[in-house]
Amino acid sequence: MISSTLKKMHIPSQNGYWIERTLEDGLSITTTKLKEIMFYVLQSGWTVAKVLTIIAMAPFLSFYIMKDWGAFIKALTTCIPIPYRKEVLKGIESIHLTFSAYLRGQALVCISLCGYYGIALKYSGLQFGWLIGVLIGVFSFIPYVSVFLGICVSFLIALLTSASVSLKILGVIFVLGYGLEALFLTPFLIGKRIGVHPIIVLLAIFSLGHSIGFVGVLLSAPLTAIVVAFLRLIREYYLKSTLYQGRER
């Protein structure tokens, strides 16, 4: 097709051959790049779809778990051997209290970030800044996702609607907000409530995030709460044991 077109244009055969090869190479490279771009777009779209599905399902799963929690514990109780029932239920109650403390701490983190991002984005001059900030805070229980979407939406609105908004100021707001959440709010509001030193919470977030990725960051705080509850039970049993107290059985 290319060669016939070149003949119609009365281009010499030598030059025509060079032009034909150049066009074919360019077409091949363009096709390859388009395939790579399409694959990346589809892969990114699938990732976004999975994240949005998790966000959409989380409230429903939480509602039904809380709704049927009592029935679940009751059914579990009947399966526990009677001699061990009291101790096992005590352990479950300890985990429940620790996890409840984690949820209260996470709620305080979300409220704090709602205030920070809402006020900061509003006074930065960003249109809809207060609404965007509140939404970032509400969904901050999902690490990275809320901040990433907040950055994308804020920068897009700043570029499309308000030239007076400095992108550098928006960048500083999000960097400070991330530091506030990771270094202060999460370790102190969650760590202290579940009885864990803030450094332990930070180590859990970074280590699980490095090992498992996004899911590790998402589960780091609740898993830390559960592990802490188990360790407290083990410590309590150990302090009562004959091994620790040095008594004969």
DSSP 190: I
Q: Which residue type does 248 have? A: E
Q: What is the rounded distance in angstroms from the CA atom of residue 143 to the CA atom of residue 53? A: 15
Asked if 88 and 177 sit in the same domain, the reply is: yes
- Predicted pLDDT of residue 114: 94
Does residue 23 lie within any of the structural domains? yes
- For residue range 86-140, list pLDDT tens digits in order: 877 887 787 778 778 888 888 999 999 999 999 999 988 888 889 999 999 988 8
Given a cut of 80, whether residue 58 has pLDDT beyond it is no
Does residue 58 lie within any of the structural domains? no
pLDDT confidence tier of residue 2, bands split at 50, 70 and 90: very low
Q: How far is CA 37 from the centre of its chain?
A: 26
Q: What is the rounded distance in angstroms from the CA atom of residue 155 to the CA atom of residue 220? A: 30
Q: What distance, in Å, lies between the first and last C-alpha atoms of the chain?
A: 95
Query: 42-61: b or e for each residue (b if 16 or more CB lie within 10 Å)?
Result: eeeeeeeeebeeeeeeeeee
Does residue 60 lie within any of the structural domains? no
Q: What is the rounded distance in angstroms from the CA atom of residue 147 to the CA atom of residue 141? A: 11
Q: What is the rounded distance in angstroms from the CA atom of residue 226 to the CA atom of residue 61? A: 19
Q: Do the Cβ atoms of 124 and 196 come closer than 8 Å?
A: no
Long-range CB contacts for residues 84-89, cutoff 8 Å, separation at least 24 = none
Three-state DSSP state, 102: helix
Asked if 173 and 223 sit in the same domain, the reply is: yes
- For residue range 149-164, list pLDDT tens digits in order: 888 888 888 888 765 6
Does residue 229 lie within any of the structural domains? yes
Asked if 136 and 234 sit in the same domain, the reply is: yes
Asked if 134 and 223 sit in the same domain, the reply is: yes
What is the tally of structural domains in the chain? 2
Asked if 43 and 74 sit in the same domain, the reply is: no
Counting residues of the chain whose pLDDT is more than 70, the rounded percentage is 73
- For residue range 174-226, list pLDDT tens digits in order: 999 988 888 888 888 887 777 777 677 778 777 877 777 767 777 777 787 77
Q: Which residue type does 118 have? A: G
Count, residues in the chain: 249
Q: What is the rounded distance in angstroms from the CA atom of residue 182 to the CA atom of residue 190? A: 11
Of 7-11, 130-134, 226-230, the one with minimum mean pLDDT is: 7-11
- Predicted pLDDT of residue 117: 94
Give the residue, 118 or 144, on which the prediction is more confident.
118
- Predicted pLDDT of residue 126: 87
DSSP 80: S
Query: Which residue range is the domain that position 21 belongs to?
Result: 2-50
Handedness of CA 137, 140, 144, 149 (dihedral sign): negative
Does residue 208 lie within any of the structural domains? yes
Q: What is the rounded distance in angstroms from the CA atom of residue 234 to the CA atom of residue 91? A: 10
Asked if 82 and 36 sit in the same domain, the reply is: no
Q: In the numeric block, which tokens belong to residue 112? A: 């704090």
Does residue 187 lie within any of the structural domains? yes
Counting residues of the chain whose pLDDT is more than 90, the rounded percentage is 10
Q: Cα 100–233–191 angle (5° rounding)?
A: 40
Handedness of CA 25, 26, 29, 30 (dihedral sign): negative
- Predicted pLDDT of residue 113: 94
Does residue 175 lie within any of the structural domains? yes
